[in-house]
Amino acid sequence: MLGQANRRAKGKRPWFFNDPDVERVLNITMVLAMEHAVTRQRLDALERLIEAKGLLTRNELDAFTPDADAEAERTRWMKTYIARVLRIVAQSSEAASDAERAAEPAMDDLINQLRGESPT
């Protein structure tokens, strides 16, 4: 039943960009924007409730300054996060020259090579 929520509407879907792949990425991005907004709103609600219960004020939260250890941990987290988000960029530009990458065989060539090897 939950799979039903993702069903498409019957009817030829219009595509507006020259490249529908890019438009698909736009659509994924907009959903992420929406879900991030939902998360931020939930955080906002949480903060208001915590403040209302007298546990912590939002000013305290806004003024939060980590000590040296916490700062180091948070910086490590931030670098790991950026690396994770930009994985494809890192991998595409990983230290290997254009020539080396070009020399990697196409996978079906490699498959054919391996098919031709005699069993050892």
What mask of x and - would describe binding to other proteins in positions 34 to 73, judged by CB under 8 A?
A: x--xx--xx--x----------------------------
Contacts of 47 (CB under 8 A, 6+ apart): 58, 61
Write out the two tokens for 21.
Answer: 């792949």
What mask of x and - would describe binding to other proteins in positions 12 to 31, judged by CB under 8 A?
A: -xxxxx-----x--xx--xx
Q: Cβ closer to other proteins: 2 or 95?
A: 2
To 5 degrees, how large is the angle CA 106–CA 107–CA 110?
95
Stretch of residues binding other proteins (CB under 8 A), selected from 32-40, 62-70, 96-104, 111-119: 32-40
Write out the two tokens for 58.
Answer: 């939002």
CA–CA distances in Å: residue 27 to residues 17, 31, 70, 84, 88: 12, 6, 37, 21, 19
Measured CA to CA, the distance from residue 79 to residue 44 in angstroms comes to 25
Choose, by CB under 8 A, the member of 11, 54, 116, 119 that binds other proteins: 11
Binding site for other proteins (CB under 8 A): 1-2, 4-11, 13-17, 23, 26-27, 30-31, 33-34, 37-38, 41-42, 45
